[in-house]
Each structure stands twice: as C-alpha cells, then as structure tokens.
Chains A and B, each alone.
Chain A
Amino acid sequence: MKKITSIILMLLVICSLVFTSCGKNEEETEDLGDAITLYVYNWGEYISDGYDDSVDVNAEFEKYCREVLHKNVVVNYSTYSSNEDMYAKVSSGVLPTYDVIFPSDYMAARMISEGMLEPINPKENIENYENIDDSFRGMYYDEEEMYTVPYTCGTVGIIYNSAIVDEEDTGSWDLLWNDKYSGNIIQFNNPRDAFGSVQYYLSKDVNSSDENEWRECLEKLIEQKPILQCYAMDEVFNKMKGSSAAIAPYYAGDYFTMYEDNEDLSFYHPEEGTNIFVDVMCVPKNAGHKDLAIEYINFMLSEEIAVANAEYICYASPNKLVRENEEYIEYMTEEVHEDAMEILYGVFEDEEYIEKMQYYHALPGETLSLMNDLWEELKLQSNISTSIYIICIVIVVALVTLFVVRFIIKKKRAKCVNECTTK
C-alpha cells in the first residue's frame, strides 16, 4: 500500500519538476513588465522557424521588441492547413482573437467584404511597405491598399516522380486523370483547389457562377476518384518525399522543399493554365494589439527577415529587396534547385502564359455553398467494391442463423427437461 502511494507521489514530483523547468524560459524576460502576447495564425510550415540552422523569425521579433521597442512580447504562433479552416476559426469567435493572419487573396477579399479585417493603411503606417514590388500593389482584392500586405506569391503546378512517370505523359493537367498511374495520384483535399484543377484542365472560368459548369467539374472529380491514392494537403510532403505517391498538384514553392529530400521529383506548370495566388498579411477587426501587429508585419518585410523566410519556405516573394538580393539568388540556384528562380519568378514574366493564369476570387454566397455541397457529394461518393457488402451480408446471415438455431435448440431442450420432470 505504502509502495503505491510513494510511487504516485514520486510521479507527481517528477511531473512538477518538468513543469518548473518548462516554465523557466519565460520568466527571464520579466523585467520589462508583463509580457504582451501577440497571436499569430499562419499556414503550417510557412515561416522560418529555426529548424536546421535557419533564422527563428518569431524569436527574432521578440528580441527586436525587447531591444528596440523596449516591450516584452511573446509571440503565440499557431497554424492552420486551409483558408476555409482559418476562416471558420476566426469567424466563429471561438478562439483567442488573433492579431496577424495570413489568408490567400480570395479569402482576404471575402473577409474584407464581410468587414472582418482592420484597415491598416500600409502605405502610411508600414515603413517597409515600399519594399513591395509594384506589380503586387492594389491587387483586385484590395484595390485601395488599405487592408493587406503581400507576404508570398506563387503558382500551382504538378509535381511528379520522374522515376515512375514517363516524360511524355507530362505537360498537362490530364496527368491527374491518367489511369496508368492509378493508386499513385494525389488530389487536393480542399474544394477550391480540387475544383480549380478541373476548371483549369477544362479551360473554364474558375470564378464561374454557372451551376452546370460546377456540376460538370464534379463529374470529372468523381471520374478521378477511383484512381486516386488519397486526398491530401500537407501530407503530400511525406508522400512525395518517400515516393509513396508519384503525382500531386501542389504549390510551386513546396516543390523545392520536397526536392531537397527526393531528387527524382520534377515540376511543371500545366499548359492549360493554372492558379496564381498571393498570400497576404492582415489584421482581423477584433485584434487585441493592432500596433504590435503592424510592427510585426513591418518586421516581416525587412530585408533580412524576408530573405530568411523566402529561403526557408521557398515561395516566391513579392518583396523587391528579396528578389534583388544576390545571396538569395545564389542560394536558390545553387542550394535549392538550378531552375528555382525560373520556376518561381519566370511565370510572372512569361507574357503568353500569364494570360492563362487566373486568380481565385471570392465566390458569391450561393456559388460557395453550391461548391461546398458538391464537395460533400464527392466525399460521400464511395466506389467501394460490392464484395465488402456481400461479406457483411454473409456475416449477418450467419449470425442470425446461429441465433435462430440456438434458440430452437434451447426451446427443444427446455421442452425435453419439462417432459422429463413431469414424468
């Protein structure tokens, strides 16, 4: 008895020791008054975080606040995996009020139109905003340049494993429908990008509000489902790196992260055209620390930090200073991929191809719910072979007969026992 008590006490002591040691790091900065917590909500793997000797941007920002602004700031950094996910969390008001968020263009447009963003007027308030390239200013989603500051830009392309996929099959979106590679293909696990892949393939308007067009796309996606290995978002990294899948549409920047671990991987922009996007930094309306959020955005635009981020996440940067940075260009071409600059920035200069690229726009409410509905339909669709059902029916029938037989035997026996006793 004593033994158990002492063991449990020991466990508690060990645990409390772990806590106190965990808590200590935060106490060091106590002398600048209470820590202000800045809530940052970003995409997964979308910032240089100190992994593998890179710059830890959030730690740098905390240091910058301590040394330059004389404020004790703690960055609370959390991540999401899709725009829709982020929108749901921010709009439900369920979570702590975030100070900085990173939606994509179409989501920013939707949030602006719904009055969810704070006008921060970057031209006036953010010193480093001038670093942003002119071609990324006053975009369709924020023509007045009031709400958003571009963080990254990029395109969607198709990544394939050249050890498995023949060169002649590549070049177009139809690789995703090629049943030669059945079981090796991955499709986006979010409605906007998945429907987008069909719309580009069929050269349709991605922002169409025509119900029939969307239904046509659904047909195409249902047709694709049997040859897919999975619907995935960031799981793509591991699947492609480990050669578990051979074909996946994904964002150009992420291709380089995968290429680092698996040199068989190649990338192309489909000839039919593709998606172009800008991910922006904004401040939600109910943010707790607007000034600090602006400070954070400003910090992200400074040359050193922007280069660190661009090198870490490998997405194209709308920041002039990054694009002109010799060291960055050298790093990208020599360490990352010899065609890196071409893949990332080349498409923006290719006059002919740029015509084929489309931004996603915020869809009108009706189309949006149609799209979600169709996506639900696709997900519910199952091409399970009937053998599963047959096995099941066999099991059920077997069980039922078993019980019936037992029941009959029991009855008979009871009758028998009754007769015996009466005799």
Chain B
Amino acid sequence: MRKKSFIEGFAAIPHVVWLILFVILPLVFVVYFAFTGPDGSFSFENVANLSRYGHIFVLSICFALISTVICLLIGYPLAYFMSKTKPKTQKMLVILLMLPMWISLLIRTYSLMAILDNGGLLNSLLESLGITRVHIVGTPGAVILGMVYDFLPYMVLPIYTSLSKLDIKYYEAANDLGAGNCKTLFKVAFPLSLPGVISGITMVFVPSISTFYISQKLGGGLFDLIGDTIEREFQNVSTYNIGAAISLVMMILILISVAVMNHFSEGDDNEGGIIV
C-alpha cells in the first residue's frame, strides 16, 4: 500500500477541530450546566427539580404527537395521489410543495396568525356573512393547526419520494391477484413506503416538539411547551442551569425516539421482502 500523503492525512483536521470546539464542547457545557447550581458547584438539584416541568413534557409530546398524526392523515393521501399523477404534473407539484419549506417559518406562522386572529381576515369574513366571530388564537387547536400547517410539507415529501420509486408492477400484480384499490393501498403501497413514512414522522415530530415561535404566537403564551420553557430560562442568567437540564432531557428523549423510529424502518425494510 501507498504511504498516506500529507494532504490526505490532514484534510479532515480542521473539521475535527471545529467539531470538538463547536459541537462536542457545547454539549459538554449543556451537561455541565445541567449538573451544577448557579454558583458553579456540582448538584443534582436541577435534575431533581425537573418534576415540576413534567406536565410540560407530557403536553409537548401530546401536541407533537397529535400534529404528527394529523400531518400523516392529510399527507399520506396527498403523497399517494401525487405519485399517481402524470410525470410532468408531478414535477410541478413537487416544486409547489417545496416552496413553503424554503419560506421562513416565522413568515408562515405570523401570516397564519394574522388570518386567524379575532380581528383578522377569517373573522371579518365570517362577520360579513353574518356568523359570529370565533376565537382561535390562544387555544390548543390553534397551536396544533400551526404545527400541521408549518410542517406538512416535511411529511409529504419523503412519503412521496418513496412512493414514486415504487414499481407500477406491484400495483398491477396486486390488481391481477384480485385486490381492490383500497386493499392495494393498505397491503402493498403502505408497507413499501414505510421508510418514507418513518422519515416524515421524525421530520414533523422533532421540530414540533421543540418549537417556541408557534406556541408563542398562536397559543398566546397561555400554555408553555418545552421550547418556550427553554427559551424563557435562557433569558435570565440565573436560570441557565435549569434550562440546560430541560434541554438535556429533551435531547435525550428525541435521540431515543429517532433511534427507535430508525430501528423500525430498518426492520420493515427486511420485512418488505417477506410480504412480496
């Protein structure tokens, strides 16, 4: 074998240094802050105090779960129908779907709020139709609506990608063997697109569990989610420690759930062979 050249050996060094300084060190800091008091001494107090924030975690998980399920329910049919249209239409629809992903989340959330607000467009429309105003902003429904609206494209795209890769012969085979459209969808298309579904679920679940802008604007600050709590704790030097502890727990939670999800998707990959 050839001797390693200088450039090959050292090309990754800047990157490694960068990783150590700005990826690993920050995480070490989070752990350090989570296990120290404001005066810098070692303590478990922050972690012990976390029970106070227990229902915030439950609430955030609930919100994220519900919005993920709604995204899936809306997004899967959309992706399925999209994959069935003509190739030219498909290309255009994909661009249309990606456009909102590149528009700032702030703009999308704020415009949604401007419409749903008590004095917003929706209510002035309702009023002119003679229907009473509806209070939407400041309710849990508004937050979930915001999450669904903001993250729906993230659900549709991966599902669409895996569905569009499916060979049309699978459908034909299923039809030939006597399966109806519905049966084909549930027994053939869905299992085969599971990796896309899993990826879509993680891509909706992770941002919705950690969001703070959506709940601030659409929830009116009336119910804090994990993101809001972390953001508030980090506004004040004396509460950095508890904020770090909450971040740490959230990070671990998410890493575990992502790992579990990926495990499922790998398991299903193998299973795909068995079914077909």
Chain A residues within 8 Å of B, Cβ to Cβ = 84-85, 88, 91-92, 183-184, 189, 225, 228-232, 239, 242-245, 369, 372, 376, 379-380, 382-385, 388-389, 391-392, 395-396, 410, 413-414, 417
Contact = CB atoms under 8 A, between A and B. Distances in A.
B66 A391 contact: yes
A414 B65 CA distance: 32
B66 A395 contact: yes
Nearest to B237: A92
B223 A410 contact: no
Interface in B38-67: 52-53, 55-56, 58-59, 61-63, 65-66
Nearest to B61: A392
A228 B222 contact: yes
B117 interface: yes
Contact of A380 (B120, B219, B224, B238): B224
A228 B138 contact: yes
Q: From DSSP, what is the main secondary structure of chain A's interface residues? A: helix
B91 interface: no
B118 interface: yes
Interface string B213-239: 000000111111000110010011110
A197 to B, nearest CB: 16
The 4 closest A-B pairs by CB, nearest first: A230-B220, A244-B119, A243-B119, A242-B119
B100 interface: no
Interface residues of B, number: 35
B140 interface: yes
A380 B222 CA distance: 9
Q: From DSSP, what is the main secondary structure of chain B's interface residues? A: helix
Contacts of A384: 59, 140, 223
B159 interface: no
A230 B139 CA distance: 10
Nearest to A417: B274
A115 to B, nearest CB: 17
Contacts of B135: 183-184, 229
B266 interface: no
18 contacts: A84-B235, A88-B237, A92-B237, A183-B135, A225-B222, A231-B222, A239-B119, A242-B119, A243-B118, A244-B117, A369-B238, A372-B236, A380-B52, A384-B140, A395-B66, A410-B271, A410-B274, A417-B274
Interface in B98-138: 117-120, 135, 137-138
Contacts of A243: 118-119
A412 B52 CA distance: 45
B69 to A, nearest CB: 5
A229 B53 contact: no
A228 B220 contact: yes
A16 B113 CA distance: 35
A233 to B, nearest CB: 10
A230 B222 contact: yes
Contacts of A242: 117, 119-120
Contacts of A230: 137-138, 219-222
A177 B129 CA distance: 31
A232 B222 CA distance: 10
A379 B138 contact: no
A85 B56 contact: no
Contacts of A417: 274
A343 B14 CA distance: 64
Contact of A389 (B62, B119, B221, B274): B62
Contacts of B222: 225, 228, 230-231, 382
Nearest to A235: B217
A142 B135 CA distance: 46
Given A84-B236, A85-B235, A392-B66, 18 more contacts: A183-B118, A229-B138, A230-B222, A231-B220, A232-B221, A242-B120, A243-B118, A379-B224, A379-B228, A380-B52, A380-B55, A380-B56, A382-B55, A382-B56, A388-B63, A392-B62, A410-B271, A414-B274
A242 B65 CA distance: 33
A381 to B, nearest CB: 9
A378 B256 CA distance: 31
B237 A91 contact: yes
Nearest to A377: B52
A13 to B, nearest CB: 22
Contacts of A184: 118, 135
A84 B118 CA distance: 30
Contacts of B120: 242, 244
A380 B51 CA distance: 12
A290 B56 CA distance: 46
Contacts of A413: 274
A346 B223 CA distance: 39
A282 B228 CA distance: 32
Interface in B74-118: 117-118
B65 A396 contact: yes
A204 to B, nearest CB: 25
A225 B238 CA distance: 26
Contacts of A391: 62, 66
Nearest to B144: A388
Given A183-B135, A244-B137, A391-B66, A229 B59 contact: no
B65 A382 contact: no
Contacts of B224: 379-380, 382
A91 B59 CA distance: 34
Given A229-B138, A239-B117, A88 B223 contact: no
B229 A388 contact: no
